Amino acid sequence: MREKLIEWLELHLKPCIYNEKLGFECLGCGLQRSLIELLKGNILESLKLYPALIPIILMFGYLLLHLIFRFQKGGDILKYIFIFNIAVVIIHYIFKLIY
C-alpha cells in the first residue's frame, strides 16, 4: 500500500510555477520530494530536501490534539511552533539562494 502511494506521488509531482515562470525556487520547493523521501524512510534525505517538513507535521499533530483535548496553553504553544517553522523555512530558503 505504501509503495503504491509513493509510486503515485512520484508520478504526480507538481512543478513549481515560480521556477518555471521566474527561474527561481519558491519557499515550498522541495516539500513534495521531501515527503516522498520521508515516506520511503529516508529521514536524513527528507531533512536535506526540506527541513521544515517534520516540524510542520508535528505542528499539525499537536494542533489536532489541541482541538480534541483543549490544552490550556495550546494556542500559545502553537504560535511558537508556527514561528519556529516559519524561521526554519526562511533560513533554509536563504541557504538555498546562497549555495
CB-CB contact of 25 with 16 (8 Å)? yes
Tens digit of pLDDT for each residue in 75-84?
Answer: 999 999 999 9
Q: All 3 cell numbers of residue 88?
A: 526554519
User: Do residues 31 and 11 lie in contact, with contact meaning Cβ atoms separated by under 8 Å?
Assistant: no
**Nearest to residue 29, comparing CAs of 59, 51, 58?**
51
Residue pointed to by grid coordinates 513549481: 16
How high is the pLDDT of residue 91? Answer: 97
- Residue range 55-94, pLDDT digits in tens: 999 999 999 999 999 999 999 999 999 999 999 999 999 9
- Grid coordinates 511552533 are at which residue? 81
Q: What is the pLDDT of residues 4-26, one digit of tens each?
A: 999 999 999 999 999 999 998 99
